[in-house]
Structure 1
Amino acid sequence: MNNKVLDVHEKPAFPRWVALSLQHMFAMFGATILVPTLVGLSPAIALLTSGLATIVFVAVTRFKVPAYLGSSFAFIAPIQVATATGGIGSAMIGSMFVALVYALVSLLIFTTGSNWIMKLLPPVVVGPVIMVIGLAVAPTAVNMASTVSVGGEDVYNLLHFSAAIVTLAAAIICIMFFRGVVSLMPVLIGIIVGYIYSAFIGIIDFSPVKEADWIQMPAFLIPVIDYDFVITPTLLAIMVPISIVTISEHIGHQLVLGKVVEKDFIKDPGLNRSLLGDGLGTLISGLLGGPPKTTYGENIGVMAITRVYSVYVIIGAAVFAIAFAFIGKLMAVIETIPQAVLGGISILLFGIIASSGLRMLVDHKVDFGNQRNLIIASVILVIGIGGAVIHISETFQVGGMALAAIVGVLLNLLLPGRTDETLSDATE
């Protein structure tokens, strides 16, 4: 038994409430603004929608699950591909259909229970797909860290690469040599240190900060008004299959959070409610121009350290995120972060994502002496990292991470020798 400082429904005194909520807000801040920066979306909208999505999630789960929703890294590559093929509006439309998948899965779980989805997504499928998420975008991180654009071409630049190295080193030091909340904010601290170093070596243009207003409306992307609402089979094939991964991630977070808080969130309020809350958060984000959402491990870590599980603290963090989105000077500072700094922190983050997939395989003791497991993992990794694409027609294709996820699920269903191992086994 752990010694709870504040349980889920307990409300802290106001000054302490503010401090605890700010702590949660900063824990998710770095990663939440990094995703939109990498895919060409507004960091302000990402903050705003993370706050709105979190409040909706808490309400849908009947104020029983203290989880914060931030930007999902699983959709970085799909958003980039969708944007390249059909514009940024395509990525937003894809996000809305991802939300629809969440709603449908939630309805199925409500009517049939959750055992089927636990068996559909075993560790031998989910682990390699998570590895693909990190490794598929690894070249992007290295390119951002070491090059600058000159005449439309990426050219190696040692000065900018030094900023990436400083950023990476600062984040690693936070993780390895600090304890407590500081160790849970390596992304934010790494970006701050890298930014200061970049200013010192003179690679930042501060004019956008000077020109920005203190209070400024975020750059919304509204369907029909800001982009044509055009749905294509290729768009759906790019975005929707990633739901396989993010639903698995959601289940894993609910299991871990349940262990921390000592409650069974899969049963009460139920996986159907938490998935629906997550999906509605992604829908709101897509309607306003933000990236898809997911529950954040950083905030679960903060709760594990502080033993403060209050949903009121989480709601406070969401309110602060919404307020920060309207501070024009702050958003302008974020937009001046050098590409090298983002590349440096991405090297660590993308590597951690890939390693977390490997850790899932280790934690669940997946036996690679078993030819079935070896085949499934091998095919997923090569298809995903290799960028394999199936062209069904001129207007419909499935490739990369999405194809890897689909093939992984199919192989698990079709190959003989399937066991009943599920994501929940290692947490029991």
Structure 2
Amino acid sequence: MKQTTVGIQEIPRLDKWIVLSIQHLFAMFGATILVPMLTELSPAVALVSSGLGTLAYIIVTKGKIPAYLGSSFAFIMPIIAAITIGGPEGAMIGSFFAGLLYGVVAVFIKLTGVQWLMKLLPPIVVGPVIMVIGLGLAGVAIEMAMIDPATEVYSGLHLSVAMFTLVLTIIASIFFRGFFGLIPILIGIVGGYSFAAVRGLVDFAPVAEAKWLQSPEFLVPYVTYTPNFSWEIFFILVPIAFVTLSEHIGDQMVLSKVAEKNFIKKPGLHRSLFGDGLATVISSLIGGPPNTTYGENIGVVALTRVFSVFVIGGAATLAIMFGFIGKVSALILTIPSAVMGGVSILLFGIIASNGLRMLIDNQVDIGKKRNLIISSVILVIGIGGAFIQVTDEVQIAGMALATMIGIGLNLILPDRDRVKTSEEMFYDMSSKKEDEQLT
């Protein structure tokens, strides 16, 4: 059995502390800036909100869970839809209520336990919804990869940059080992950016003109805008929180396995969920995308065996500092859409594949009529863009509608599979880990 290098509440030596925190910063950087770039929010604000959210999470969980929080991919399409309806300000209001939902669920879990949530969101519901998230974004990735944003027509040059970025990201994912194997997204973006610069697609003028120290473009309610509630935006964003709730539980299971501690039990899933929700609320109050725990950083923890929350907190502090460095923000904004498109082709496909993996890992029998019906309905409604027009101004559409119908079908259709308790799930994961070590 591997020995822990640094304990959860242990403070490393300063030089080691900085290096280990930088590793976590690199691991989350690519994905965290990709979400705001796809949704036309500020990458600098996303970095700041990611850091603030992570620090809040550490405080809420009493410094007992070494998890980093970054921009959530599940909310990309809902945010884009919300911005179309009510602008970035409307999207922030919807994100705020999505974060509040986490708090409500956390209170219920504290009072009644977690079993009801697992019955509400079994793998047969969450798996297909995750597939909808990835496949629903496929068109966005392809358009970014093939279309010149200046002319809005097909561009072979942009496609070549996207393919170069994609291939490099795949190579980094498959062949790179150690820490570099954990940051294929960042490697792909840096390599694709360099190739795009050689091909003349990068304009460095904004970087030269930017100040070193510069405040991000925060969106603060009652300071930069007056909030205007919209039921349509509410129904676009809030139901997605049910999906990310399930993903959160999965991340906690994986992290528990890595650290060989049952974080679901202590400090408790209610604290973990409340911390995640608080991070999203904080992000919504300054103009950033919703946050979620990051698998990339769990990978860094697993590789280094460094569980110190002080290292995670150091990465969060660095992220906040980066958000206020104007030249870094300007450099991020010069990344061509083709580069982000190339990375997105792989990322969005992985999201969809992870939904399929959830069904496989949980041994969901798709041959069973009940499961086949639930998954089929979710996929077609979610990807097909179905919607319900509640009133002239309120519409429940796409992913949100698919999630709600999936939950409803699971509750209504007979012959449900027994849902495992959190203790059983933790035991299963621990057993798998022992099996892996034996083989």
TM-score (norm 2): 0.95
Matches within 5 A, 1:301-316: 301-316=299-314
2:232 pairs, out of 228, 231, 234, with: 234
Q: Distance in 2 between matches of 1:341 and 1:423?
A: 43
The 5 A counterparts of 1:183-332 are 183-332=181-330
| Distance of 1:244 and 1:182 partners within structure 2 | 33
Structure 2 CA distance for partners of 1:383 and 1:423, relative to 1, 3 Å:
farther
Shift in Å, 1:182: 0.7
Q: Which residues of 2 match residues 339-418 of structure 1 at below 5 A? A: 339-418=337-416
Kindly state the Cα deviation for residue 330 of structure 1 after the two structures are TM-superposed: 1.0
> How far apart in 1 are the matches of 2:366 and 2:72?
29
Residue 9 of structure 1, CA deviation: 1.3
CA contact (8 A) 2:36 2:288 kept: yes
Give secondary structure in 2 for the equivalent of 1:173: helix
Distance 2:16 2:110 in 1: 38
Name the amino acid aligned to 1:40: E
Q: Could you give the per-residue CA deviations for residues 289-323 of structure 1, whole angstroms, max 9, x where no partner exists? A: 00000000000001111111111110011011111
Correspondence 1:156-195 to 2 at 5 A: 156-195=154-193
Superposed displacement of residue 180, structure 1: 1.0
Measure, in 1, the Cα distance between the counterparts of 2:130 and 2:419.
18
**Structure 1: stretches of 5+ with no match in the other structure:** none
Q: Compared with structure 1, are the counterparts of its residues 423 and 231 closer, same or farther at alpha carbon in structure 2 (3 Å cutoff)?
A: farther
Confirm or deny: 8 A CA contact 2:115 2:421 kept in the other structure.
no
**Distance verdict in 2 for CA 1:333–1:407, change over 3 Å:** same
- Return the alpha-carbon distance in structure 2 between the equivalents of residues 390 and 297 of structure 1: 34
Name the aligned partner's letter for residue 334 of structure 1.
I
SS where residue 294 of structure 1 aligns?
strand
After superposition, the C-alpha distances for 1:48-99 in whole angstroms (9 at most, x for unaligned) are 1100000000000000000000000000000000000111111000110001
Does residue 68 in structure 1 map to residue 76 in structure 2? no
Structure 1 match to 2:115: 115
Partners in 2 of 1:105 and 1:262 — Cα distance?
26
SS for the counterpart of 1:299 is helix
DSSP 3-state at the match of 1:350 = helix
- Count of matched residue pairs: 426
Kept after mapping to 2: 8 A contact 1:252/1:423:
no
Q: What is the one-letter code of the residue matched to 2:246?
A: S
1:95-106 equivalent positions in 2, closer than 5 A: 95-106=95-106
Task: Look up the equivalent residue of 1:325 and give its one-letter code.
Answer: G
Aligned partner letter, 1:5: T
AA of the residue aligned to 1:12:
P
Runs of 4+ in 1 over 4 A off after TM superposition: none
Secondary structure class of the residue paired with 1:87: helix
Separation of aligned partners in 2, 1:161 and 1:372: 42
Taking structure 1 as reference, are residues 227 and 422 closer, same or farther at Cα in structure 2, changes over 3 Å only? farther
Partner amino acid, structure 1, of 2:333: E
* Match runs of 1:80-95 below 5 Å: 80-95=80-95
Aligned partner letter, 1:91: A
SS in structure 1 opposite 2:239? helix
Q: TM-score, normalised by structure 1?
A: 0.98
Q: Residues 147-193 of structure 1, C-alpha deviation per residue, up to 9 Å, x if partnerless?
A: 11345xx2000011111011111110111111111111011110000
User: RMSD over aligned Cα, in angstroms?
Assistant: 1.1
Cα deviation, residue 423, structure 1: 8.6
Identity %: 58
Task: Give the match's secondary structure for 2:395.
Answer: strand
Alpha-carbon separation, structure 1, partners of 2:371 and 2:258 = 30
Task: Give the aligned residue type for 2:5.
Answer: V
User: 2:429 — aligned with what?
Assistant: 427
